[in-house]
Structure 1
Amino acid sequence: MPILEISVAAATAGAAIIGTIWKVHSGVVKKTTDHEKRLANIEHTNNIQEIKINNIEKNHGSLDQRMANIESTVVELKIQNAEILQILKGGFYGKNKNMVN
């Protein structure tokens, strides 16, 4: 009888060990699958962003070109503002030749 009890106890312990190993294995597989899904999602997002950047550069030029365009626009606006101020100052003091009285 003790051999039967030992055999049952050994079988129960073996089943518990196998169950534990299976649970750990399935947890690792699930985490690996989740990480792979996240990586695929990140790669997909990066590809979309790269396409958007390429389209922006294609339509508007590179970052350096866009910055140069902005700087050029700012300089033009400053010149126009200075001209407007000069006209207004001349008109205020009655010295503006461009305005018709």
Structure 2
Amino acid sequence: MSKVIQKKNHWITKVNDCLVIRGACGELNVDLRGGAENGEFAYIGQVREDAVVYQDGKLCEGELLLEVEGLPVSGLPLYDILNVIKFCKDPVRLKTVRQGKRNGKYRI
């Protein structure tokens, strides 16, 4: 008898692609936290919903930042990521992914 193999969802299917508009002072309307200088990946803090245009998925607090304008930023310090964003044209394209849930000591 053959076994049915269940296909697990890969994290790449959970990538969010969105455009974020700058505020009146030129600041990004999404708070970024973390960074390599703190020993963690950069992630999304507080989100102002009126400043985000979604293309795929929904931007939520706590998501890991993967790319800014097509440039991979995982593993970079936060100040480098903010410099990349500073020189980008408005709106800024962000790719993020939701962090996995912990089940014991492993992420699933």
TM-score (norm 2): 0.16
Asked which structure has the greater CA Rg, the reply is 1
Q: Name whichever structure is richer in helix by fraction.
A: 1
- Return the structure number with greater relative CO, CA threshold 8 A, min gap 6: 2
